[in-house]
Chains A and B, each alone.
Chain A
């Protein structure tokens, strides 16, 4: 029942992503679509939030470290009523609150300005560390890309998260295997992400990033892990949900035409 509901929400998120990018005529569909199930599970089940009071002190924090997937975050925030859904049409346009990459001072519900890869994760570690120091219950979630793991700061931050025993931190790795220039394995091989994150001191959980049940179970498991941070290694498909975008690097950073928007929405009914 609950799974069905979240799956439906993920589909709604995907529809908004497609519409928004079609309207904007630029942006990043592939990596936005691959994270839709993860973000739906976070915002419709896992996180403590109060959209009517976006600065509520007790809220959990979500940081979109792969900031180029801004349409993913904007969609869920609009659907959760952080702002009016009509605003999605203004994505990337002059004067819009919806910048190409998320701006925490412009958009209600955005917890950290991101876009330069790796930095959001570092900030998420800072948030989790602050909550630890002040004995707060808030949890911190960060969504990273796999290509993003080529940034050195990701590993600096990972080391610190383990060193400071941040069991209030859950990183989710949207492992779609592609980046702008092609396959991650060909651009700059990441090796075994499972082994790397384990070696850096994380509790690593492998899931299918499009199976809501698996994602939710992983979040539940993360809550039981004490003394170390968790990484959910989510195997995903770039462009998931739109057949002609799936697993194609060229959909990393180009927007669909109006015809393509119509085709995509047909598939996402």
Chain B
């Protein structure tokens, strides 16, 4: 299966925008080669702004640019975008509902060798708790490109969470992304697996394994974490009566929490979570870390078997 990192897809999408859309300004905080905003700089250097190592000012400047009617894309690592600059995002971007696209890379423990100081496991939780903010976690390179195209047309603040490592391509070019709509990648009747980001491909693999075990799993890609597609969750779980969530993020405040919130209000059902168990990341090869933190296909299978018994 073809593999591409979502950050590389971001660079590709930005190159296209750099050539076609005069309203776009791309900003970075000294990480342009890693976030791939350097790809935009190559085609439209006049519209590229490096603010240096100053993430708070990255967000403040982006807010000011948006206030003049232009469309800024502000990029850095997820840790520094949502952690370091949280309050600027909150007060200068989300509160005035300014049209800033925050696209952060290097999210989750799959950052790898840089270790726990750089592995954002709280960013979804932070961004989803801020009013006016839209939160999107693309599952692969194709979806990333579609997301970037879509958010340019949407007016308002958006947080997009991307990763460093290569992930399998699961969509083909015919895929249509819509903000706030989940996509069902595989229909099933016994259990619902709701995943986001790099865990979506693993959820599909898990569904194959489960099929051999006689469990027919439905796999949903929850690429928009906010606004959340409540209806998609409720309809699927009404059919399957149990659910497993999978995310490369702390189990507190992320996708698992969002699904739980919807279900307890609408259709209580047994739920298990695959995610980072409230611990920090560490250094290592990304694939080894995903094993260590149990962000794996097998763990999804285990949790499905567990939740299945609780039906």
**A123-B46 Cα distance, complex, nearest whole Å:** 19
What residues on A are CB-neighbors of B51 within 8 Å? 156, 160
Quick one: which of A103, A122, A126, A134 contacts B96, CB cutoff 8 A? A103
What residues on A are CB-neighbors of B47 within 8 Å? 133
What residues on B are CB-neighbors of A105 within 8 Å? 96-97
The answer to whether residues A127 and B64 also contact, given A122-B56, A160-B54 and a CB cut-off of 8 A, is yes
Q: List 9 A-B contacts (CB under 8 A).
A: A61-B67, A112-B63, A112-B64, A116-B92, A126-B63, A156-B51, A156-B52, A157-B57, A159-B52
What residues on A are CB-neighbors of B68 within 8 Å? 61, 126-127, 130-131, 134
Classify the interface of chain A: helix, strand, loop or mixed: helix
Q: Is A123's CB under 8 angstroms from B67's CB?
A: yes
Determine if B171 is an interface residue (Cβ-Cβ < 8 Å).
Answer: no
Chain A, 102-127, contact with B by CB distance < 8 Å: what is the 0/1 string? 01110000011101101101111111
What residues on A are CB-neighbors of B62 within 8 Å? 126
**A152-B66 Cα distance, complex, nearest whole Å:** 22
Chain A, 126-153, contact with B by CB distance < 8 Å: what is the 0/1 string? 1111110110000000000000000011
Binding site for A on B (CB under 8 A): 25, 46-47, 49, 51-52, 54, 56-57, 59-68, 70, 72, 87-88, 91-92, 95-97
What residues on B are CB-neighbors of A127 within 8 Å? 64-65, 67-68
Min Cβ gap A116→B in Å is 4
Quick one: which of B46, B64, B70 contacts A122, CB cutoff 8 A? B64
**A111-B52 Cα distance, complex, nearest whole Å:** 26
**A48-B150 Cα distance, complex, nearest whole Å:** 36
Q: Is B63's CB under 8 angstroms from A123's CB?
A: yes
Min Cβ gap B46→A in Å is 6
Instruction: Count contacts on A: residues with CB < 8 A to the other chain.
Output: 32
**A134-B70 Cα distance, complex, nearest whole Å:** 10
Please report the number of residue pairs spanning A and B whose Cβ atoms sit closer than 8 angstroms: 105
Q: Is A126's CB under 8 angstroms from B88's CB?
A: no
What residues on B are CB-neighbors of A111 within 8 Å? 67
Q: Is A104's CB under 8 angstroms from B96's CB?
A: yes
Min Cβ gap B156→A in Å is 12
**A153-B52 Cα distance, complex, nearest whole Å:** 12
The answer to whether residues A157 and B60 also contact, given A130-B25, A133-B46, A134-B70 and a CB cut-off of 8 A, is yes
**A127-B56 Cα distance, complex, nearest whole Å:** 16
Q: Is B91's CB under 8 angstroms from A126's CB?
A: no
B53 nearest in chain A by CB position = A156
What residues on B are CB-neighbors of A116 within 8 Å? 87-88, 91-92
Q: Apart from A124-B64, A126-B63, list 8 A-B contacts with CB within 8 A.
A: A119-B91, A122-B88, A123-B61, A123-B67, A126-B65, A130-B65, A157-B57, A164-B49
Q: Is A152's CB under 8 angstroms from B64's CB?
A: no
A101 nearest in chain B by CB position = B91
A124 nearest in chain B by CB position = B64
Min Cβ gap B99→A in Å is 12
Q: Is B64's CB under 8 angstroms from A130's CB?
A: yes
Q: Is B96's CB under 8 angstroms from A156's CB?
A: no
A158 nearest in chain B by CB position = B57
B87 nearest in chain A by CB position = A116
Quick one: which of A115, A125, A153, A156 contacts B64, CB cutoff 8 A? A125
Min Cβ gap B98→A in Å is 9
**A252-B124 Cα distance, complex, nearest whole Å:** 38
**A48-B52 Cα distance, complex, nearest whole Å:** 32
What residues on A are CB-neighbors of B67 within 8 Å? 61, 104, 111-112, 123, 126-127
